Chains A and B, each alone.
Chain A
């Protein structure tokens, strides 16, 4: 059963507006969460992460919010740019596991 869920397969946003990508998880042992960005024909690249001891982490235009009680995290991109168009994967890990558990991804399209 999928432990990391991204329930929106796709999202379309206008350039300059905010993009919000959501992710839910079921395993309460997860304590580290990451977002990866993937362009076609390339490997995923690390974007931003957050530890369970925090509820927010910011890096430039990208902010990740973590709500542990709801087992939910979100990635905010402000302002969105056409170059942000990609598939975004949410991933989670626990300190007892050695590999990342990925969601199915959300395809973001930012239109001019």
Chain B
């Protein structure tokens, strides 16, 4: 199916574990983004990527690592999960990244216990 998909939809992990959230888009959009949504904060940008092998930090990058070896995939890794990283994570993509809408995945609800 065309679109942007995230996996898993739900994840519970323990403090200190490494966890990777996956994001795949079928549009060949150049730009991809990771946001987290928390009560009282709205959507905050974690990392973004302008193209394969080009990534940059957003507003809240600490504790996260991203890679983009292929245009269609943009995984987000929590190297050592903390309770403060309990959140809903959204991946998004856009064609140009500038003055254009972004398309979002359905989200991954991550709970760190």
Contacts and interface: CB of A to CB of B under 8 A. Distances in A.
B43 A46 contact: no
Interface residues of B, number: 26
B43 A98 contact: no
Contacts of A46: 101-103
Interface residues of A, number: 26
A51 interface: yes
A42 B107 contact: yes
Contacts of A45: 104
B99 interface: yes
Nearest to B98: A95
Contacts of A100: 33, 45, 102
A102 B43 contact: yes
A89 B90 CA distance: 14
Contacts of B41: 104
Given A44-B104, A93-B99, A99 B90 contact: no
Nearest to B33: A99
Given A98-B48, A98-B50, A34 B101 contact: yes
Contact of B90 (A31, A34, A44, A103): A44
B9 to A, nearest CB: 9
Interface of A: 6, 31-32, 34, 36, 41-46, 49, 51, 89, 91, 93, 95, 97-105
Given A95-B99, A98-B56, A105-B42, 11 more contacts: A34-B101, A42-B107, A43-B92, A44-B90, A45-B104, A89-B43, A98-B31, A98-B97, A98-B98, A102-B44, A104-B41
